[in-house]
């Protein structure tokens, strides 16, 4: 009986998330209802919608913050096992990739400020350092973007040889190097400056330009090009 009392199947059809989406539009559903659809079902104590609301609370009632949580953090909600947590994490990652792909690929680069703003969205969910490279064509359009390395809380190492190989594969004529500082400190370290120099020298041998190296955080950005460091 307890399981039935918590079943969404007993709700009015217009109130059930799945029927509501089919009869209306995904835009008509709340964040909690959309998450409930991903969870698919609840348990004896809670409906999928109850669990979805708890997940949102765990993310400070903010989808952006929810997307930062790991699978094991999502599993802190009672009733959210590994399978449900993986489904939520996968959905959040797809949403992030959709947004960043639309924002960057085949976009003409016009300023460091514009690229930095888009990269803040790209790096927003990471709590560790990520090194990403934008590969550009002759029209300064982004042909491809790729995470080259992923590190710890305080640093990551990018191999210039890997970057050059990727550039040749993409027929890129220019690069923009990018990495985040989760700490919020925007100033480059000596290691950042040395890595930039090495990549720039390697690129010149292949007639490829390094247009900029951007360091981003949620609070702002630092541009090597704007500061005359390239």
* Cβ contact 112:223 at 8 Å: yes
Radius of gyration of the CA atoms of the chain, in A: 22
pTM, entire model: 0.60
Domain stop point among 82, 100, 118: 100
Q: Do 93 and 110 fall within a single domain? A: no
* Cβ contact 175:133 at 8 Å: yes
pLDDT of residue 128: 80
Number of domain units in the chain: 2
85: nearest Cα among 100, 104, 66, 63: 66
Question: 217 has which bridge partners?
Answer: 220
Q: Do 9 and 119 fall within a single domain? A: no
Give the number of other Cβ atoms within 10 Å of residue 227's Cβ: 13
Per-residue pLDDT of the chain (230 residues; tens, 9 = 90+): 344 445 666 665 556 777 777 777 777 788 988 999 899 888 888 888 899 999 999 999 988 888 888 999 999 999 999 999 999 999 988 887 776 655 555 577 888 988 888 887 777 667 788 899 999 999 888 888 888 988 754 556 789 999 999 999 999 999 999 998 887 788 898 989 999 999 999 999 999 999 999 999 878 899 999 999 98
Q: In which order are the strands placed within the sheet that holds 220-223?
A: 142-150, 130-136, 174-180, 209-217, 220-223
Domain stop point among 72, 100, 128: 100
């Amino acid at each position: 009986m307890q399981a039935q009392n918590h079943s969404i199947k007993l709700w009015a059809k217009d109130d059930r998330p799945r029927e509501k989406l089919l009869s209306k539009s995904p835009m008509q559903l709340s964040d909690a209802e959309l998450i409930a659809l991903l969870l698919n079902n609840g348990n004896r104590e809670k409906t999928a919608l109850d669990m979805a609301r708890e997940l949102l609370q765990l993310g400070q009632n903010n989808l952006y913050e929810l997307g930062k949580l790991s699978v094991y953090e999502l599993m802190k909600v009672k009733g959210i096992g590994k399978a449900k947590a993986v489904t939520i994490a996968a959905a959040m990652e797809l949403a992030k990739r959709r947004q960043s792909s639309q924002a960057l690929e085949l976009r003409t680069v016009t300023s460091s400020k514009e690229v930095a703003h888009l990269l803040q969205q790209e790096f927003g969910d990471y709590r560790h350092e990520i090194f990403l490279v934008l590969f550009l064509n002759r029209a300064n359009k982004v042909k491809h973007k790729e995470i080259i390395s992923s590190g710890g809380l305080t640093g990551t190492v990018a191999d210039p040889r890997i970057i050059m190989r990727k550039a040749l594969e993409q027929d890129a004529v220019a690069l923009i190097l990018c990495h985040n500082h989760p700490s919020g400190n925007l100033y480059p370290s000596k290691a950042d400056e040395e890595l930039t120099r090495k990549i720039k020298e390697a690129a010149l041998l292949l007639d490829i330009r390094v247009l900029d190296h951007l360091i981003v955080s949620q609070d702002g950005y630092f541009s090597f090009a704007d500061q005359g460091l390239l």
